[in-house]
Structure formats: structure tokens, C-alpha cells
Amino acid sequence: MKFSILDLLLPRETKFFDLLDQLSDYVYNSCFTFRDLVVQIETLSEDERKKRFFTIKDFEHRGDQMEMTIIEELSRCFITPLDREDIHTLAVNLERPLDELKDLIRKIEIYQIHKLPINVCQFCDIIVSLAKLQQDIVCDLHTRQKVRKKVEQMHKLENQADELFNISMAELFCRQDAVLTVEMVQLKEIYESLEAAVNGLDDIGKLVRGIKIKNG
């Protein structure tokens, strides 16, 4: 990170790192809770399902509030530790996976789904792995650790998710005896939302990499 004489006279507001870390933690915890829901969905009572739904919605709500806090703090601070636009863009993109997960549980609620294919569980494993990596690299923004290898790991996981998505679509629609059903359409929507969550997490890695390159 480059410094100037202004840094000595006007210290940078480093609280943004803590705010971004907290938002990143919400993302990880929401992803972990969602996987827990999916893996146990067949055995959960209705009350247990609702508790997990509430937890994921709460993380999304907290994430939305944190995003707004970061934006408000940007308007108050004279010198920030990173470019204002980078902080704003990262905050907005960190909130995206929370929106996708909220959308996913909304589908599960509305469609009253109590059983999901193994492919959905595999998607969730990828999502949690990505969420842990995004948590690490957001923290690396202020510890000055290199992120290249972690971003590469995220890209590999995103490629795995792409392949899993294609396989899942083929299993849904490419059988010779396949007849379009409501369940198939519902699962297609869930797979598309899972892929969107994966892409959102992968985008966080790319953003952090760009910010690190810019700041040295």
C-alpha cells in the first residue's frame, strides 16, 4: 500500500477492515447454515426448518445493515485505507451471496421441499469452501497476505460448480423418458440460484485480487 505525507497528518480510517470482516463472516455463517439445512432437510422437524430459515434471513438482514453502515461511513471519512469505490464495490458484492441464499430458502419454503438430490448437497459443500476462502482473503486485505493462491482455489471450485450444474441439468432434462414436471422446474430454479451464489462468491475473490494489485 502506498503512503504519502497526508497519511502522517490525517490517519486513514481502518475501521472499514473490521466492517468488511464482519460482513464476510455473515456470508460464511449463512453458507454454513444453509448447508446444514440441506444436508438434514429430510429429518428436520418443521420447527427446526423454520429456525434455520430464520437464521439465514437474519444473516441477510444483518448483511444489508452492514452494507448500509459501510456506505454511510464512507460519506463521513476523509481518508480511507482503500479507494472509496473499491470499498463500496466490495461491500455490495459481499452482500450478494446473502441475497442468493435468502432467495434459495424462500424457494424451499414456498415449494415445501422436504427432499433434495445429492447434487444439491455437493453444491453446498462447494459453497461453504468458497465462503471460507472469501472470509480468509477479505481478512488478508489488512494483514497484507498474498491472495493469489486462494483466488486460484476459488476459481477451481467455481469450475467444479459449473461442471456440477451441467451434470445436474442433464440429469433433470436429458433422459429419454423425461416428462416435464413441477418438481423438475423447481429443481432447475434451485440449481440456478446455487450457481448464482457460487458466482457471487467467486467474484469476491476476483475483486479482492484486483484491490490487492492496485494497492501493492
pLDDT at 173: 82
pLDDT at 9: 38
Which domains are assigned to the chain?
A: 10-215 (1.20.58.220)
pLDDT at 11: 46
d(CA 101, CA 94): 12
pTM of the model: 0.90
pLDDT at 142: 85
- Say if residues 88 and 71 touch (Cβ distance below 8 Å): yes
pLDDT at 175: 63
pLDDT at 4: 46
Residue of 104, 156, 100 whose CA lies nearest to 130: 156
- Per the structure block, which three cell numbers stand in for 23? 460482513
What type of residue is 5?
Answer: I
pLDDT at 18: 93
- Per the structure block, which three cell numbers stand in for 129? 469452501
pLDDT at 196: 96
pLDDT at 22: 97
| pLDDT, averaged in runs of 10, over the chain (216 residues) | 41 81 98 97 94 97 96 88 93 96 95 94 98 96 87 97 95 70 90 96 95 83
